[in-house]
Chain A
Amino acid sequence: MRFLVAYLRSPPAMIGLVLLLVVIGMALSADWFYPRDPLSLAGRPLIWPGANPRFLLGTDNSGRDIAAQIFHGARVSLLIGVVATSIAIALGIVIGALAGYHGGWVDDVLMRVTEAFQTLPNFLLLLVFVAVFGSDIVTVTIAIGAVSWPAPARLTRAEFLTLRNREFVQACRTIGMGDGRIIFREILPNALPPVIVYASVIMAVAILLESALAFLRLSDPNVASWGNLIGLGRDVLRVQWYVSAIPGVAILVTVLAVSLVGQGLNDALNPRLRKR
């Protein structure tokens, strides 16, 4: 309750929440406002925004309605963000927990692998993944998740390192509780909050990573993603700059919303964390 009050009192957090709700609203209402496939041919290519009342935001160089792509693109970006983040967090927690709980050689090996992933520029790794496994949306999402796990793994490990020698864990061990149960039932709930807060950072980065891939024309061309639209607009940037500008603003707003909400959660959770 206190947490909720703290969150609601912070204006940036509220702005973020509102923006995020708007984006979610766009994603949910896309089929209602734009029931046609957003990738279907809607009209002549490159109609300026406002020039034709049928196309509020104009059409792109493939003659597709930009507004429809923005609405449907909200789904894609949010979906990629949420799924990739879940993958990264899940991987990170498992690896971090194992490393932190067991220590010793398990920790050594896992941390070497984590280091390897952190040393290699993640975008470079993403390029390799996409070249190898193709660029359909499922692959891209998994690949983004697969390059984003090291940070949550380190966070989880750090939490586990401090928690594993606490009395309550020792107590669990003495009564003969199994490792799996200790890890997931006892330690994890206590280690989770900072990792969850960090999720907003991963989600923001995931959305940006997908758009950067799309910009290099390496993302899935069968979905209406904002990045694809920016990449497409690159060819007509000199004159029809709106094709790239509009989806860019959409990405900016979404990432901003996610970050603001994340920061709001962090601020609201932190006092509690400190008291603990």
Chain B
Amino acid sequence: MRVFALAGRRLAASLPTLLIILVGVFLLLQLAPGDTVDALMAQMGGGGDAQVAADLRAFYGLDLSVPAQLGNYLWRLVRLDLGFSSIYGKPVATVILERLPATLLLMASALSFAFFFGLVLGVLAARRVNGWPDTLISTLGLVFYATPSFWFGLMAIVLFAVHLEWLPAGGFEEIGAGYTGLRRVLDIATHLVLPTLTLGLIFLAIYLRIMRASMLEVLNLDFVRTARAKGLDETRVVVKHVLRNAMLPMVTLVGLQAGTMLGGSVVVESVFSLPGLGRLAYESVVQRDLNTLLGIVFVSALLVITVNFIVDLLYARLDPRIGAGG
């Protein structure tokens, strides 16, 4: 129950932020050259006359003044209505719900991948600090950090999908194969291997660097020295005492970078033709589909806020000094 109250308070506190974002993006897009009807005319490829264009503008509500459009939008939002998507001819909420799973899955798997391997490699490096494993791991981390993700994705496609034919080149699942149950899970999993690596790489690099640094810091703290002096074996010291404290900065970082990761998925989804939110966002910018774009902005902001909230809860559990969780 306390958690819900806390969540409610957090959400209320983020309302001004949300409002700034939505109004900002709305006004910004008013300055863009062309509107969604222009984009539709481009799709038609000709033959659209002035009357049709005017009808369409009225249909999409573009004949109203900007403040009226903004007012309508916010009033609808208050009633939790995200409006109608002009690209897809459906309510924005439906469109986003269709696309959300792919993005969530991709983000979750990339995050787990980066978190897990970042942690393991960070710990390994810290335990052999300045030895060759440390040098190797740290160098790899830096290289990963410097690799443009889309380039890594393209090269991975060339190698693993085109030449070795181990993994599919793109898509979310095998279309029309009609897989169900476990077979389908496996199918989706193989499709997500390359995108996960591509999106997760830079975060892996960051996490392992942070993990290594905080491990080194914690290993030198008094309580660890005491534990060691008591003759506890090294692995137990690391797992029971060090890890927990060293993970704190990493957890903080996850929250801070949720937005970055969502941004990264725009590129990754377009490289691997995944039907996710990132690609939808790109399309809605190009198609000037204001409702859909604002919907995505709204949902991704909520997502970031939620991740941060979860991170705070985790933080409280991990850090014995905060709250009663420890």
Q: Are A and B part of the same complex?
A: yes
What residues of chain A have their CB less than 8 Å away from a CB belonging to chain B? 12, 112-113, 115-116, 118-129, 131-133, 204, 208, 211-212, 215-216, 227, 230, 234, 237-238, 241, 244-245, 248, 251-256, 259-260
Whether a CB of chain A sits under 8 angstroms from the CB of B73 is: no
Contact present for A120 and B297 (CB under 8 Å): yes
Hey, which chain B residues are within 8 Å of A253, CB to CB? Answer: 146
Q: When the two chains form their complex, are residues B17 and A259 in contact, meaning their CB atoms are under 8 A apart? A: no
Interchain CA distance A96-B28 in the complex, whole Å: 24
CA of A223 to CA of B128, assembled, Å: 46
B285 touches A123 (CB 8 A): no
Chain B, 156-172, CB within 8 A of any chain A CB: 157-158, 162
B interface SS class:
helix
The answer to whether A116 and B21 touch across the interface, beta carbons within 8 angstroms, is yes
Q: Kindly identify, within residues 253 to 311 of chain B, every residue whose CB is under 8 Å from any CB belonging to chain A.
A: 256, 259-264, 266-267, 270, 281-282, 285-286, 293, 296-297, 300-301, 304-305
Pairwise interchain contact B267-A121, C-beta atoms closer than 8 A: no
Q: Assess A120 versus B148: contact at CB under 8 Å? Given A112-B16, A115-B17, A259-B142.
A: no
Decide: A128 and B16 in contact? CB cutoff 8 A: no
CA gap between A248 and B286 in the complex, in Å: 26
Using known A-B contacts A244-B154, A248-B148, A252-B147, determine if residue A127 contacts B29 with beta carbons closer than 8 Å: no
Whether B155 sits at the interface, judged by CB under 8 Å, is yes
Q: Told that A12-B138, A133-B31 touch, could you supply 15 new A-B pairs with CB distance under 8 A?
A: A119-B14, A119-B21, A121-B260, A122-B259, A123-B260, A124-B263, A124-B296, A124-B297, A128-B28, A131-B286, A212-B150, A244-B151, A254-B146, A255-B148, A256-B143
Q: Report which of B148, B154, B157, B158 forms a contact with A251, defined as CB distance below 8 A.
A: B148
Say yes or no for B1: interface residue by CB 8 A criterion.
Answer: no
State the Cβ distance, B215 to closest chain A Cβ, in Å. Answer: 16
Tell me which of B20, B261, B285 contacts A127 (CB under 8 A): B285
Q: Which of B29, B138, B145, B286 has the most CB of A within 10 A?
A: B145
Knowing A128-B29, A245-B155, the reply to whether A121 touches B262 (Cβ < 8 A) is yes
Chain A residue contacts of B18, Cβ below 8 A: 119
Cβ A119 vs Cβ B304 within 8 A:
yes
Q: Give the contacting residue for B17; candidates A112, A122, A133; CB below 8 A.
A: A112
| B25 touches A (CB below 8 Å) | yes
Closest to B152 in A: A248
Q: Ordered nearest first, which 3 A-B pairs have the shortest CB separation?
A: A123-B263, A121-B263, A255-B146
A260 B158 Cβ-Cβ under 8 A:
no
- Is the CB–CB distance between A259 and B301 below 8 Å? no
- Closest A residue, CB atoms, query B139: A12
> Taking the complex as formed, is B149 at the interface, i.e. its CB lies under 8 A from any CB of chain A?
yes
A215 to B154, alpha carbons, bound, how many Å?
A: 11
Check if B17 sits within 8 Å of A119, measured CB to CB: yes
A252:B259 contact, CB within 8 angstroms? no
Which residues on A sit within 8 Å (CB–CB) of B259?
118-122
